[in-house]
Structure 1
C-alpha cells in the first residue's frame, strides 16, 4: 500500500490537452433518456452550484443511473466495468489502498494484456490522475462505473481492511488506543489510597486539603464563566448576520451529513422526515445513515422507508471496538461533500441550516475548520429533569461556548450539528475511535493543529434525556471521556503547551481538570450551605472565622453567577417560561457527582465501553403531523407588451395544504408580473424567494438572526429606505435581467392546444401562446435568472432565438 506521500494526487504539471467531447446532456437527449426541458433546467442549476450535471440529473430523477453511466461510457469512449462478471483484482487495489480508491472515485479493476483497466465514477478527472496511475501500474485505460457499483465492489473485496483502518485513522500519539491504561489506573489508585490514608490519620486535614482544591477550581471556573458571559454580551451587540454581510460569489458546495444510528427502531423513520425538511438543493445534499453491521433493528426500520436519491445507508462492519467515532471514520471516505457534518439520531435541524453553514464557510478564514451550531430540545416541558437539561444546554451553547470562542480559548465540541472542512478533518485523521467523547477530543486536536472552531447561530432541536438513570449513564460517559481526553493530551504537557500556547493551555486545564474536580468534590462545597442555614460547620473550630466567611461568600457568589448566567441564556422568547425553574439547578447539578464517580470507575474497569443513550423515548412525534407549506405560485400572466409597467406580486395557491404534494417545497426564484392584484415593490417580491426565509426567525440572545423587520436578500438590504442612485440602477438592471421574454421558450410553429384552468396546480393559464412558465409540463424556467440561453442541440431552437440570445 502507498504511504501518505505516495497517494494518488494530481501532479503540478500543465493539464493535458483534451479533445473536444460531445456534452453529456446532448448524448442523453439523443439517446432519448433525457427530456430537453429537463436538460435546460439542470444546466441552469449548475450555474450556481458546485455539482456535476450528472449528479443534478440523478438527484431530481431526470435520468436513471444506468442511462447516465452508459452515456458517460459513450462520451469517454470507454467500456462499462462489470464487477459482477469480473470481480476486481484485490492486489491492484492494495497497491494504492482502498481508502484512497474511495476518495478518488477509482478502482483498479483488472489487467488486460499489458494494460490495467481502472474503473472510475468520475471519468472527467481521470486524465488528471493518469500520470500517477501510470507510474504505479504502467499503461492504464479508463472504464466507467457508477458510484454505487464502485462502493459495493470495494466493500465486497476490502471491507475488513476499511473497518480496521477506521479504528486507527488518528495518529497513535494522539489516540487513546496507545495510552497506558494500566499506568493511569495505578495513578488513580495511588491517589485514592493516599487520600484514604490521610482521611484515616487526620480526617480534618484531608477535608481542608480537598475543600481548598475544590474552592480553587470553583473560583477559576466561576471567573471563566463570568468572563465568557461578558465576552458574549459584547459580541451580541456587534455581531452581524451571516446573510447581511458581504460574501464572495461562490457556487453552493456539496454537503455530506453523517447520522450514526444504533438500535433506533423508533427514531429512524422520524429522522428521515426531519432531515428531509432541509431546504438545501437536493443535488448538493448527501445524507449518510451510518448503521452497524449487526444492528438489524435499525436496518429493518430503514428498509421499510423509501429513501430518496440523496439519502443512503452505509453499513459499518464489525471491528475491535463499537463506538460512534469508529463508525464516523468508516463512513467518512464514502462522503461526497467538501463540507462534512454530523447529526444525531433524534435531531431536528432548522430548514435553513445548511445554507447558513455553507455561507459561513465561504466567508470564513481557511483556518476555520469547524462550525458548531446551537443545540436545543423539543421536549423541554416533559418533566423537571428535561427543563433543567434545557437550561443547562442554553447556558452552554448560547453563553459559555460563544464566550470561550471570543476569548480565544479551545472550544470543546458538541456531538452533533458539527460541520467540518473535508480536507481539515482528513488531515487530522478523523475521530479517535477509542475515545467515548470524541467531540471534545477533536476540539483540542483541531486547536493543536492550528485550526479554529466558530459558533454559528443555527439551532438543532433534539430529545432531552428526561429519565434519571439514563441521564446519569449519559453524563458518566461524557465525564469518563473528559478524563481520558485530559489524560491522553497531558501525557506530554510540554508539547501541549507549545501547541496551544499559555492561554489556551490554561483553558484546557480549567475546562477538563476543573470540571472533573468540581463534580467529584462537590460534597465539600455543599457543606457551605450550613452557613446561611445556621448549622454548625465541621471546620468552624479549626479555621478562622473570617476565612470561613470568605469561603462561604465565594461559594454563594458562584451560585449567584450560575443562576444569573442561566437567566441570561433563557431570556429569549422561546425559553423565558423556564425562568421559574432556573433556581432548581441547585438540585440538578448534584446528580453529576454520581455520574462523575461512575465515569471514573469505568475509566479503570472498561475505558472503551460506549454506554448507549436510547432515543425516541419522549419524542412526541415532533413535527410529524406538520403539513408541508404549499409552494407559492404565480397568478395569471399578462401579455409581454404590458410587462414593463406591471407590478410584481405573488398569489396564493388554489389548492389546500392537505392536498399539496409532500415533496414540493420550492418556490420560484423569479417572479413574473401580473395585472389583477395590488402592487408589491420588487424589494418585497425578491425577498419572497426561498430558501432564504427569515420572517419566522426569532432574535435570540447572542445569536446572529436578522433584526425583525429587516429584509435580507443574498446579502443586500432591500428594506423600505431611501434608495441611492446606485441601488436604483442595480434594481433597474435586475428588472431587465428578469425579463420573462428571455426566460420563455421560443414560440413553436405548431399550433398548441388551448390549455384549461387547472385548480390542482393553482395556476390560471390563458389560451394565448406561449404557455405560462408555471403551466403543467412546462420547463422550470423560473429556477434561475442567469441561464437565458438554450443549448444549440436542444430541439426547437430557431435562428430567431439564436439571434435574440446573441444580442
Structure 2
C-alpha cells in the first residue's frame, strides 16, 4: 500500500484558483487565455499543487502539460515584461557580486547595465521584488526580464562552470578536509612510520612481534565487543513487541527530492539505471534526478545524449580538473539541485520502488537533528560465485546488524556510498562532501556526528552489483581502506576538539571503527600465524608452551569467530538469505583479502593519496 495518499482528485469543470497566490492565479488566467492548457488539466494541477512544495509553473512543466516557452510567455503577460533572449549573456562582474551559488539557488542573474538600471533575467518573477529588495550598491533600478530555470542554469554553467568546479573541490573547511595530503608532510609521516616498524622488526624481531601481537589483539577484542554490543542493541530493538500499525502519515506538502547519480565510464549500466529509476513510485513533478558526468568522459556523455530521458531526469557535466573524484562531482551538482532533500545513488543501483515514499515519510516523522537516512544495501548477483556470496554476507552483517546497532548505541555512523538521503540545509551547512576523500561517505558520517546531527536507517533496500572478481575486489577495497586511514588521520589532527564534539563514548567509537579496523587488517598475518598452533605447528612466541597469555589469545580468536558467525546468522535471516548461512565459515578466508587491499592503499597514501581506483560495473 502506498505510504503517500494519491494526489489526483476528480476534476471539477472549472479551475479552482481561489487558494492560489496572486502570481499563480494570474499565470492560470494567462495560460487559459493563450489556449496553452485545458481548464480540466489546469484544475488537476492546481489541486495537486496544494499537496506539493513546488511552484505551479514547475509542476506544469514537469507534467508536460505546457512547455517552458509557454510558461515564460504567460509570465511575461502577467508581469507586463518581455522574455529574455534565448542566448543569455550575463554580466560576469555583477554575477560575481551576487555570487554564482546564489544566482543558481534563486534562479536569476544580471545581464547588463542600462544607464542607472540593471537588466536581470529571472525564472521566478513572483519572487523578483523580494530578491531585488537588497541588491548591492551599484545595481541601480532592477528591470525584470523572464526566462526558464534551465536557461539560467545552462548559462551559469557555461560561463562559470570552471569556477564552480574549483569551489566544489574546496567546499569543506580545511580543518576537516584531507586535502592537506597534497603536501609532502602527511605522506612523509606515513613513510617514516613504516620504516620505523620495519626497523624494529629487524633489530628486535621477537619483541616487536610480541608488541604487534598484543596491539592487534587489543583492537580485535575492542572491535569484537563493539560488534557484539551493536548486534545485541539491534536484536533487543527488533525483539520489542511491535506497535499496532498506524496509518500512513498525511504530509501537508510533499517535498521535491533531488537524486544525484555520479557516472564515470558507466556505458554498460546507464541504460539499465534509467529503467530502474523509472520504477520509483514518487510524484514525477517532485523528482529531480541528476545524472552527473565528467567533461572528459565522452562515451558516457554521448550515450546519455542519444538516450530519451523523461523530463524529471537531466544531465549535468562537471568541468574538467586535476581532481576527478565522486565527491567533487557531487559538490558541483549540489549547486544545481532543486530539492530540499538530496539523495545519492550509484550507477548500478536498483532501489525498491517505494523507497522515496518511505524516506520522505521517515524524515517527516523524525526530528530535525536527523540529517541523514541510510538505506540498506544488498546485491542482486549474490550467487554468482564464492566471492559474491562472501560480499553479500559481509554487507548483510554490516547494513542490517552492525551499523544500525552502533547507531542505536549513539556512535558516529560511517555511511555507505549510496542510498543516502540528506536534509539539504544540513548538508550545505557542513560544506557537502570532502572532494579529496576517496571514502567521502564514511567521512561525511563522521562530520555529521561532530556537528550534532544524527543518522538513522531507512527500512528499504537497494540492490547493487557485488564485485565478484578477486583483483577488482582488492582494488575497490584498497580505496575504501585508504579512505578510512585518511579520514581517521584528518579528524585526529585535533583530537581534543574531536573529543569535545563527540564526547568520550563517540570518540572511543571512532577509534574502534576506523583505527581498529585498519590495525586488524594490517596485522592479520601476525594473528593468523597463531592458528597454526591448532594444527601442531610451531610459533616463535610459543616456545614455552601454552602460557596463560597464549591461551587467552586463542580464546579471543574463538570468541571473535563466534561473534562473527552469530552476527552473520542474524543478518542473513533478516535479509531473507538463510541459504547462505552454511557459507559463513568461509569468511575466515575472505577477510584476509582485505590485508592485501590495505597494503596497496597504504602505498597509495604515500604515492597518490587522491587516486580513485574506479570499480567497473556491468560485469555481472
Count of residue correspondences: 600
Match of 2:10 in 1: none
8 Å CA contact retained: 1:483, 1:516: yes
Match of 2:506 among 504, 507, 527: 504
- Could you say if the C-alpha distance between residues 55 and 97 of structure 1 is closer, same or farther in structure 2, counting changes exceeding 3 Å? same
- Could you say if the C-alpha distance between residues 320 and 242 of structure 1 is closer, same or farther in structure 2, counting changes exceeding 3 Å? farther
Match of 2:16 in 1: none
Distance 2:606 2:195 in 1: 15
Match of 2:162 in 1: 160
Distance 1:23 1:371 in 2: 39
After superposition, the C-alpha distances for 1:145-193 in whole angstroms (9 at most, x for unaligned) are 1011111111222121111111111111111113474222232222222
8 Å CA contact retained: 1:257, 1:288: yes
- SS at 1:313's partner residue? strand
Distance 2:24 2:53 in 1: 21
Match of 1:563 in 2: 565
Superposed counterparts of 1:5-154, under 5 Å = 22-84=25-87, 87-133=89-135, 137-154=139-156
- Could you say if the C-alpha distance between residues 303 and 180 of structure 1 is closer, same or farther in structure 2, counting changes exceeding 3 Å? closer
Distance apart, 1:60 and its partner CA: 1.6
- Computing the radius of gyration from Cα coordinates, the structure with the larger value is 1
Match of 2:596 among 590, 594, 597: 594
8 Å CA contact retained: 1:22, 1:75: no
- SS at 1:599's partner residue? helix
Distance 1:240 1:405 in 2: 20
- SS at 1:560's partner residue? helix
- SS at 1:23's partner residue? helix
- Could you say if the C-alpha distance between residues 358 and 573 of structure 1 is closer, same or farther in structure 2, counting changes exceeding 3 Å? closer
Q: Which moved more, 1:601-610 or 1:543-552?
A: 543-552
8 Å CA contact retained: 2:110, 2:118: yes
Match of 2:353 in 1: 351
Superposed counterparts of 1:186-225, under 5 Å = 186-225=188-227
8 Å CA contact retained: 1:248, 1:363: no
Match of 1:578 among 577, 580, 587: 580
- Could you say if the C-alpha distance between residues 239 and 43 of structure 1 is closer, same or farther in structure 2, counting changes exceeding 3 Å? farther
Q: Which moved more, 1:103-112 or 1:284-293?
A: 103-112
Alignment pair present for 1:326 and 2:309: no
TM (norm. structure 1) is: 0.72
Distance apart, 1:534 and its partner CA: 2.7
Distance apart, 1:83 and its partner CA: 4.8
Q: Give the RMSD, CA atoms, in angstroms.
A: 1.8
Distance 1:320 1:308 in 2: 33
- Could you say if the C-alpha distance between residues 133 and 19 of structure 1 is closer, same or farther in structure 2, counting changes exceeding 3 Å? farther
Distance apart, 1:198 and its partner CA: 2.1
8 Å CA contact retained: 2:169, 2:328: yes
Q: Return the structure number with greater relative CO, CA threshold 8 A, min gap 6.
A: 2
Match of 2:369 among 367, 370, 390: 367
Distance 1:196 1:104 in 2: 57
8 Å CA contact retained: 1:391, 1:570: yes
Superposed counterparts of 1:573-722, under 5 Å = 574-618=576-620
Which sections of structure 2, spanning at least 5 residues, go unmatched? Answer: 1-20
Alignment pair present for 1:436 and 2:438: yes
- SS at 2:57's partner residue? helix
Distance 2:494 2:575 in 1: 47
Superposed counterparts of 1:705-744, under 5 Å = none
- Could you say if the C-alpha distance between residues 546 and 275 of structure 1 is closer, same or farther in structure 2, counting changes exceeding 3 Å? same
Distance 1:444 1:350 in 2: 27
8 Å CA contact retained: 2:188, 2:606: no
Distance 2:24 2:477 in 1: 59
Distance apart, 1:134 and its partner CA: 6.0
Distance apart, 1:277 and its partner CA: 0.3
After superposition, the C-alpha distances for 1:651-698 in whole angstroms (9 at most, x for unaligned) are xxxxxxxxxxxxxxxxxxxxxxxxxxxxxxxxxxxxxxxxxxxxxxxx
Distance apart, 1:144 and its partner CA: 1.1
Structure with bigger helix share is 2
Distance apart, 1:583 and its partner CA: 1.0
8 Å CA contact retained: 2:97, 2:136: no
8 Å CA contact retained: 1:46, 1:52: yes
After superposition, the C-alpha distances for 1:6-44 in whole angstroms (9 at most, x for unaligned) are xxxxxxxxxxxx977753122111101101111111112
- Could you say if the C-alpha distance between residues 516 and 241 of structure 1 is closer, same or farther in structure 2, counting changes exceeding 3 Å? farther
Distance 1:21 1:352 in 2: 31
Distance 1:118 1:174 in 2: 38
- Could you say if the C-alpha distance between residues 157 and 189 of structure 1 is closer, same or farther in structure 2, counting changes exceeding 3 Å? closer
Distance 2:244 2:513 in 1: 29
Distance 2:68 2:110 in 1: 21
After superposition, the C-alpha distances for 1:323-370 in whole angstroms (9 at most, x for unaligned) are 000000100011100000000000000000001111111111111111
Distance 1:573 1:160 in 2: 44
